[in-house]
Structure 1
Amino acid sequence: MNTAELLAPINTFLHATTPDAWVEEATKPENFSMLLLDHLICELKASQSAMFLIRKYAVDKESSDALLAWLQPFEQYVYKREGDWRDLPSKNKLSKSVIPRSDSKYGQDLIDKMVLLIKEELHHFYQVLEMMDHFDIEYRSITPSRYAKGLLRHVKTHEPDALVDKLICGAYIEARSCERFAKLAPHVDAKLGEFYISLLRSEARHYQDYLSLATDIAGKDISERIAYFGEVEAELITTSDSDFKFHSGLPA
């Protein structure tokens, strides 16, 4: 499958394309370090979000603790500046099998899809660190963008609708990431562009996994809810935003 075929369903799913003005802003030399730093944090946040879903909805405390231990070295590197980033690939593994709770009807499917996603996102996290090292960009703390919070504030508060909404949000975040990697690839350094293209297939699958989980768990037609979040997401992408980040809106 070529890039155009891979992106076709994503471009149909998203309600707006990334504005050219954002691409222009993203490719300015003064924004290069922020682009990579925010991408790095996005990979960690994607792992954390997927892990939260497994821990809250699918597993017991023992499995939950094993999941937290898996993520710990990556979080310590970011939040406490502890450890050598070059050692992180050896940490990207679970110490035990994750078993679904007996009362979770969808637990195994959620675990299977989200554990694979976490492994891939943590691998991407390391790959971004490699890129940062290549371009002599040091890690530093940055503030989060409005994007994820802007989506999640619309999540319902009762279950299972809350879980379904979170999964729909996850689908949009992954789809937008995929679309932006493809948009950026022709306009950045060749090495970075190749890296972005290499991410497309997994990001596209992640969006599909989130969407299929949402549909299966809801057990009913959720097309209206998907469309609702599509409009919310499009507004975040196309309206004025003074804080440049990987998922920021139209440059102010």
Structure 2
Amino acid sequence: MEIDHALLAPIYAFLKCETPDEWTKEAKKKENLAVLLTDHLLCELKAAQSAMFLIRRYAVDSESAKALLDWLKPYEDFAYRKVGHWQDLEKLRLNKSIIAKTNAPYSQDLIDKMVLLIKEELHHFYQVLEMMEEYGIPYENINSSRYAKGLLQHVKTHEPNSLIDKLICGAYIEARSCERFAKIAPHIDKKLGGFYVSLLRSEARHYQDYLKLATDIAGTNISDRIEFFGKKEAELILNPDDDFKFHSGTPVEVIRMA
């Protein structure tokens, strides 16, 4: 499988650390495939939920907000309540025009980028379910890792800084996802590795979209804030972690054995 290293160069420049080899060793173990795919699946849904929250909170009118919720609900019903059949999800579409709020200068750009991101994340959600079917892994809901919460706890509470911080966090989450797809793709089953390579381009664009939105909305230099979250993100990746997941830190068991 061919990995586009030119595509990844900005990712590596943006992130403050690479994924530790110890995590990769755990990720390629067959006994960890179920948790890896299940957590990846839920990460795709949470990425869509996060983008949808931003649109609903900051960019659209009430009717558009309801249409967005209706679009997402079947995915949430399947993931959290085991309602519906996963193969029906691919047929779902957003069937209403999304209308921007008045007097919000960044609304349309936020809508355009986040709606595309949601469409892609929900499609990836379906694709991961296809992979789970391929490998005979039944879907069971699992707890989230510490990763996203560990970043978002540092978000400021006043606007527009709260929105800007959330967008910066989104950029780091998408960039790390891209980096991890590339990291493990050569070490796993060819079919799954090829699937992960196929996700690199969209994940790389997602991180850039989040970062551009943060910069444009701020209207000023936010490099210090980007640097702050970069350091926090690296700590979550490098620090010991006893809960192996897609975005988890250095596995504790590996550290003990070293």
TM over 0.5: yes
Name 2:226's counterpart in structure 1. 226
What CA distance in whole angstroms lies between the structure 1 residues aligned with 2:234 and 2:248?
11
Question: Is 1:100 aligned with 2:100?
Answer: yes
The one-letter amino acid of 2:51's match is: A
Counterparts of residues 1-252 of structure 1 (less than 5 Å): 3-91=4-92, 93-252=93-252
Q: State the alpha-carbon separation in 2 of the partners of residues 242 and 106 from structure 1.
A: 41
The 2-side partners of 1:209 and 1:75 are apart by: 25
Q: How many Å separate the matches in 1 of 2:33 and 2:88?
A: 25
Q: Secondary structure at the match of 1:75?
A: helix
Q: Which runs of 4+ in 1 moved over 6 A?
A: none
Structure 1 unmatched ranges of 5 or more: none
TM-score of the two chains, using structure 1 as the length reference: 0.98
1 CA distance for matches of 2:205 and 2:135?
A: 29
- Structure-2 separation of matches of 1:4 and 1:88: 33
Aligned alpha-carbon RMSD (Å)? 0.9
Q: What one-letter code is carried by the residue in structure 2 that aligns with 1:56?
A: R
Structure 1 position 2, deviation (Å): 6.0
- Matched pairs, number: 251
Distance 1:80 1:10 in 2: 35
Shift of 1:84: 1.0
Q: What percent of counterpart residues are identical?
A: 68
Aligned to 2:255: none
CA distance, structure 2, for counterparts of residue 120 and residue 199 of structure 1:
10
In 1, are the aligned partners of 2:160 and 2:218 still within 8 Å (CA)?
yes
Aligned-pair CA distance for 1:22: 0.2
Q: Which residue identity lines up with residue 70 of structure 1 in the other structure?
A: W
Q: Are the aligned partners of 2:174 and 2:207 in contact in 1 as well (CA < 8 Å)?
A: yes
CA distance in 2, matches of 1:64, 1:139: 29
CA distance in 2, matches of 1:67, 1:3: 34
| Alpha-carbon distance in structure 1 between the residues aligned to 2:79 and 2:248 | 21
The C-alpha deviation readout for 1:214-239, integer Å capped at 9, x for no partner, is 00000000000000000000000000
Unaligned segments of structure 2, at least 5 residues: 253-258
The whole-number CA distance in structure 2 between the counterparts of 1:98 and 1:104 is 14
2-side partners of 1:134 and 1:34: how far apart? Answer: 15
In 2, Cα distance between the equivalents of 1:68 and 1:96?
12
Q: Matches of 2:208 and 2:170 in 1, distance apart?
A: 10
